[in-house]
Amino acid sequence: MLDYVYLALYKFFSLLLKVLPNTFKIKMMKGLGWFAYKISSKHQNIINANLELAFPKKLNVEKKEEIGKAAFTNLIDTVFGIIKRDGITKDEVLQNVTFEGEEIIKQYQKENKQFILLAAHYGNWELLSQAIAIKFNITLVGVGRELDSKLMDKVLKENRERFNVEMVYKKGAMKGCIKVIHEKKIVGILTDQAIRKNQSQNVKFFDVEATHTPLASILSRKFGLDMIPAYIHTDDYINYVVKIETPIKTVKTENQEEDLAILTQLQADVTEEIIKSDPKQWFWMHKRWKGFDK
């Protein structure tokens, strides 16, 4: 029964977002972001703790609140974007998206070389995956968690696949990614969430120890694939910029443990630099330093 409530809400917002002018939609997103921040003392505490770990004694209360509200607004923009893109064309997806560094991916394509795409919960990350898949005419396969609602997971799956984006679920992700690579598709991995310590390749993230998924590093080393970081940001929730970063070259020596440590730390470093460039774009509500926070 709850599945159909979710579906009804999805359809309602799908219609609403298609008829409302952009200025009203943006005001609504910011209003919802403000409301979500204000009513959740739990997430306020997580955000403030994370910001203090990342920027110790550098942000006042007002700045932390500004970043916290923006983080919620970005999350709402990401969700609204999924709904809004249901039924539009590939050309319409790219209508307000520009690219920096697109020659990097084009060079890999010219040389017929596969790569691993690295991303984070930064800006409108759902739009990022679809925009890259469409722009470069690739099948991008992300790694993620299946939604609790089977019906909504099916809706989201169909929405993504219309724009050349597929998914493998975290349970069995390694096997799924290996299959994807053999099929000459591109694996895309969000690398900025905490994971269990016994599954982690630990890194320094903002000079604080944190867990980090080793999945991209293992695949990179095993198959000789470079990793290309890509991130998306917006200043106005209308126009979006995809920034494709300098590739992280694969490493394979006789010391596997050291190779994985180097490759994974490089991923954390580039994500850190992107977040520093505009902290308001990142998902601060997640306990990124879980188990290591002071």
Distances (CA, A) of 104 to 9, 115, 121, 165, 189: 40, 11, 22, 20, 18
Quote the pLDDT of residue 294.
54
Look up residue 251 and give its amino acid.
V
Quote the pLDDT of residue 153.
83
Q: Where are the domains of the chain?
A: 2-281
Residue 179: what are its φ and ψ, rounded to 5°? -60, -45
Whether residue 286 contacts residue 244, with contact meaning beta carbons closer than 8 Å, is answered with no
Distances (CA, A) of 223 to 44, 115, 179, 219: 42, 10, 12, 6
Quote the pLDDT of residue 293.
59
Structure tokens at 156: 């989201």
- DSSP at 246: P
Helical residues (DSSP H) of 40-116, grouped into ranges: 41-54, 61-84, 90-93, 102-110
What parts of the chain have a pLDDT lower than 50?
A: none
Predicted structure pTM score: 0.94
Look up residue 179 and give its amino acid.
K
13: CB partners within 8 A, 6+ apart: 80, 83
* Residues in the chain, total: 294
CA 129 to chain CA centroid, nearest Å: 8
